[in-house]
Homo-oligomer: A and B are copies of this chain.
Amino acid sequence: MRARVFVTLKRGILDVQGTAVKRALEGLGFTEVKDLRMGKVLEVELELQDAARARSRLEEMCQKLLANPVMEEFSVEIVDNGTRPTLPERARGD
């Protein structure tokens, strides 16, 4: 079972890093960027078959370690249930 966990700053908390990246992009001429926020993504491979169980375990991991509730929120996305890959097509960086 593959999943993605997103950990991002809560809305309302100033995302200094995101702001810096936005400004750098503007400097390069990418003025169409209206808003940019930066977070972490964890690509996880689990030895579990059941999607619901996977989701609940991942949420538990977030609560216990992966996210700090003072400033962060998280979301869990199950990418595949072991049979069909549903990952969006990747534009490789090269």
Contact = CB atoms under 8 A, between A and B. Distances in A.
Contacts of A44: 33, 35-36
A18 B67 CA distance: 14
Interface string A22-54: 001100101011111111111111111000000
Nearest to A78: B88
Give the secondary structure class of A's interface.
Answer: mixed
A40 B43 contact: no
- Count identical subunits in the complex: 2
B73 A77 contact: no
Interface of A: 6-8, 10, 18, 21, 24-25, 28, 30, 32-48, 55, 57, 59-67, 69, 72-77, 88-94
